[in-house]
Amino acid sequence: MRVVELKNLSKEEKEKIINRGKVEIESVLEKVRKIVEDVKNNGDKALKYYTKKFDGIEIDEFTVGKDEIEKAINNVDYKVIEALEKAYENIRYFHERQLINSWFYVKNGAKLGFIVKPIKKVGCYVPGGKASYPSTVLMLAIPARVAGVKEVYVTTPPQPNKYVLAACDIANVDRIYKLGGAQAIAALAYGTESVEKVDKIVGPGNIYVTAAKKLVSDVVSIDMIAGPSEVLIIADGHANSRFIALDMLAQAEHDENAVAILVTDSKDLAKKVEKELKNLLKEASKTAKSSIERNAYIIIVNDIEDAVEFANEYAPEHLEIICHNADDVLDRVENAGSIFIGEHTPVACGDYASGTNHVLPTSGYAKTFSALSVFDFLKFMLFQKFNEKSLKDISEIIVNLAEVEGLYMHARSVEERVKRREK
């Protein structure tokens, strides 16, 4: 953890902070390429080999059966089921408001329009291993269902967690595969004897999963290239230092590479947060301790305007605004994945239950990418319909521009239709 005034940061260190977390997949790209090609060429045989090699499990049936799902649900505490169901309702309610309808208009006899259609098949990657992420199931599957996706599949490492299976049942997932890692991504992209080929792959994962998504992105659509999780907090002297420290630690417990930054115009708050962090670290996980030690910053600026400017340049995945004029600050924010306003709105709200999506752009990609939404599961088609008169009305424009570009058959395709009408 480092406490520093922004004006004292060297250009190199500031650039290092701003350009953080870019996923360094080059180091594993060739190794992952071999896995992807093997699955592409050898299907289930390759999946069995890599599942045994990486997960230590021999497996013949990759699809989770109904009995296995029912058994898992029966072993989940009712309070957890109830929490998942309530989270489901909130997430669905929020994403339903993102839906847009097809539309058209008629102008000078020509009919032009915008057609909205869902993607047909989607594969959702849900990480497993050391942790359980039933919330990610909801965040991926719900917007897909709201968009109207006909077939939603989830793939998660072998011996799937009971909470993940329960979330899949609540989210009405069509099929669950016991597959993890790069091999799971390749299976969804190309299809195998057991795994259905999909049109789009969404969901977070480790560096191998990320590399695989990049490699298959020429044959299947993906959501985004995701890096380590991160939070940036803008706070003034009125903010609660303990709340801020807790939120920084909450982000840090995701991953040793997670980033937590406080930007404040108050030296007093900076000292208080540093003290709170040191005290709370005594009871934090090993992962959180490592993350805070390596990747946490408390940056002191002249005023909140400087804090906003830094935040916009940083483009955080999660942005908290804890100021007495938080709404005014919000108006000046240009780049962020998801924004949390006020001291009673920790990032955990969006992670689990508020309704907003927690699959977000990291590593500065919030400058050009957005949170996962219903739009990720929709296609937009354009149409136009002209009659003889409306074509003639626009023909001169088309012919002139086509000839300027040297595309004479474009011009003729219009001219001959117009001349035929005139005869």
Find where tokens 């108050």 sit: 266
- Of 93, 362, 107, which Cα lies nearest the Cα of 223? 362
In degrees rounded to 5, what are phi and psi of residue 318?
A: -115, 135
Q: CA 212 from chain center: how many Å?
A: 16
Q: What's the CA gap between 73 and 231, in Å, rounded? A: 33
Q: What's the CA gap between 164 and 149, in Å, rounded? A: 20
* DSSP secondary structure, 347-394, as one string: HHHHHHTSSS------TTGGGT-----GGGGEEEEEEEE--HHHHHHH
Cβ atoms 182, 150 nearer than 8 A: no
- Of 1, 2, 7, 3, which Cα lies nearest the Cα of 301? 7
Single-letter amino acid, residue 381: M
Find where tokens 């490699």 sit: 215
Both tokens assigned to 386:
């002209």
Cβ atoms 296, 277 nearer than 8 A: yes
Active-site annotation holds for 358: no
Active-site annotation holds for 318: yes
From the candidates 95, 253, 274, 318, which is the catalytic residue?
A: 318
Cβ atoms 200, 227 nearer than 8 A: no
In terms of residues, how long is the chain?
A: 423
- Using CA atoms, how far residue 321 sits from 114, 233, 326, 333, 367, in Å, is 37, 6, 6, 10, 18
From the candidates 274, 317, 320, 343, which is the catalytic residue?
A: 317
Element (H, E) at 58: none
Find where tokens 């939070």 sit: 231
Cβ atoms 35, 183 nearer than 8 A: yes
Active site amino acids: 317-318
